[in-house]
Amino acid sequence: MSVLAARVTVMTMTVALCATVPALAEPLRLSLPLACDYGRTCVVEDYVDADPGPGQRDHACGLKSRDGHRGTDFMLLSFEAMEAGVAVVAAAPGVVAATRDGMADTPVTAVNRDAIAGRECGNAVRVDHGDGWQTLYCHLAQGSVTVGPGDRVARGDTLGAVGLSGLTNAPHLHFGVLQDGRVVDPFAPRARGTCDAEPGPGLWEQAPPYTPTGLFTAGFSTAVPAFDAVRSGAARAVEAPAGAALVLYGHVFHARPGDRLTLSAHGPGGEIFRHAVTLEAPRKQLFRAYGRKAPPEGWPPGAYRGHVRLWRGDRLIATRHADIAVRP
């Protein structure tokens, strides 16, 4: 399942800035805001929406954004990585302006969506860097926030850990950059509303590499679906009887020859399959699927999760997950 396609709103916090921040002599420069190995244990899934109207595009005129998205989403490979703990760190020195903690690490659903209204950022930290610059770190794990308002932080200091709080259903950090309250794309700070395929480092000391290739979505079905059903969403099954086949699919865009797609799934009994396919002659859009028939006694009832990941050589390009419940 893809990260829920909804606007992530920069939270309003009432805690006042408790220290004076000296003006920066140079423009804001950012480091990676979480302790991961980019391209191996984390990857950007969604960038700031550079389209000022309806629709979306990233800073390079690519597809890797969502309508109204106001930050950069750094995705972990799995829920297990989140549970092991991945630190969220200050991307630049500054003073903590506000924090929030105490929200549960619960994937958003139609049932609990209204309960988080106004707190879509989840557990979070906002850091003031002077000259009107602030950074925002959303969806932190409950109880993980290690700083408080007024604390001075150096680049790389731990602020919390990646979690599942707020408006999300996959473990990731939503990283926001603001100047005087205005959303800034750290990859193209001067190019909002325009496109630049090679924008340079932006605000980054060393920008995470960009590629236009990605995954629209991943999903489970009970048979190999038709492409039209994958694109429309009709292929997705959220529950299945114990005797049904379990088929995982991934919808890819702008792949290159030689890119590798991996599909794996596990359930109450452990791993049920793991498969890799090399994309020899990809089109602008394609999907691949893999699955298994149910064993004679049927699948054990419970929750099943699949992961679809796209690789270029040994570098991770994109990752999505899907869930399905097997009923008795």
pLDDT in tens, 264-300: 999 999 999 999 999 998 889 999 999 999 999 999 9
- Report the alpha-carbon distance of residue 135 to residue 96 in Å, rounded: 10
Mean of the per-residue pLDDT values of the chain: 90
- Report the alpha-carbon distance of residue 114 to residue 326 in Å, rounded: 27
Confidence at residue 149, expressed as pLDDT on a 0 to 100 scale? 98
What's the chain's length in residues? 328
List the alpha helices (DSSP H) in 183-304: 227-232
pLDDT, tens digit (0-9, with 9 covering 90-100), for 132-142? 999 999 999 99
Co-location of 78 and 197 in the same domain:
yes
Co-location of 146 and 243 in the same domain:
no
Of the candidate ranges 17-31, 203-217, 244-258, the one whose mean pLDDT is the lowest: 17-31
Confidence at residue 6, expressed as pLDDT on a 0 to 100 scale? 35
Co-location of 227 and 194 in the same domain:
no
pLDDT, tens digit (0-9, with 9 covering 90-100), for 37-89? 999 999 999 999 988 788 889 999 899 999 989 999 999 999 999 999 999 99
Co-location of 48 and 105 in the same domain:
yes
- Report the alpha-carbon distance of residue 62 to residue 318 in Å, rounded: 14
176, 210, 244 — which closes off a domain? Answer: 210
175, 210, 245 — which closes off a domain? Answer: 210
pLDDT exceeds 90 at position 17: no
How does strand 259-267 pair with strand 302-312? antiparallel
CATH number of the CATH domain containing 307: 2.60.40.10
Co-location of 238 and 184 in the same domain:
no
Coil, helix or strand at residue 227: helix
Co-location of 255 and 321 in the same domain:
yes
pLDDT exceeds 50 at position 22: no
pTM attached to this predicted model: 0.88
List the alpha helices (DSSP H) in 42-84: 79-84
- Report the alpha-carbon distance of residue 209 to residue 185 in Å, rounded: 15
The mean pLDDT of 210-225, rounded to a whole number, is: 97
Place 27 in a pLDDT band, splitting at 50, 70 and 90.
Answer: confident
pLDDT, tens digit (0-9, with 9 covering 90-100), for 171-183? 999 999 999 999 9
Co-location of 81 and 145 in the same domain:
yes
pLDDT exceeds 80 at position 197: no
Confidence at residue 55, expressed as pLDDT on a 0 to 100 scale? 84
CA distances from 21 to 6, 17, 56, 67, 240 (A): 34, 9, 35, 34, 56
CA distances from 327 to 242, 243, 247, 248, 321 (A): 6, 9, 16, 18, 20
Co-location of 154 and 226 in the same domain:
no
Confidence at residue 3, expressed as pLDDT on a 0 to 100 scale? 38
What is the extent of the structural domain holding 291?
A: 214-327
How many domains, the chain? 2
210, 245, 260 — which closes off a domain? Answer: 210
Q: Is 260 exposed, middle or buried (0-12, 13-18, 19+ CB in 10 A)?
A: middle
List CB contacts of 321: < 8 A, sequence separation 6 or more.
1, 78, 79, 170, 218, 305, 306, 307, 308
Co-location of 245 and 224 in the same domain:
yes
Co-location of 195 and 81 in the same domain:
yes
pLDDT, tens digit (0-9, with 9 covering 90-100), for 242-259? 999 999 999 999 999 999
pLDDT, tens digit (0-9, with 9 covering 90-100), for 111-123? 889 989 999 999 9
Co-location of 162 and 224 in the same domain:
no
How does strand 270-279 pair with strand 259-267? antiparallel
Q: HSE on the CB side for 293, CA within 13 Å? A: 3
Confidence at residue 111, expressed as pLDDT on a 0 to 100 scale? 87
- Report the alpha-carbon distance of residue 204 to residue 207 in Å, rounded: 5
CATH number of the CATH domain containing 95: 2.70.70.10
Co-location of 193 and 46 in the same domain:
yes
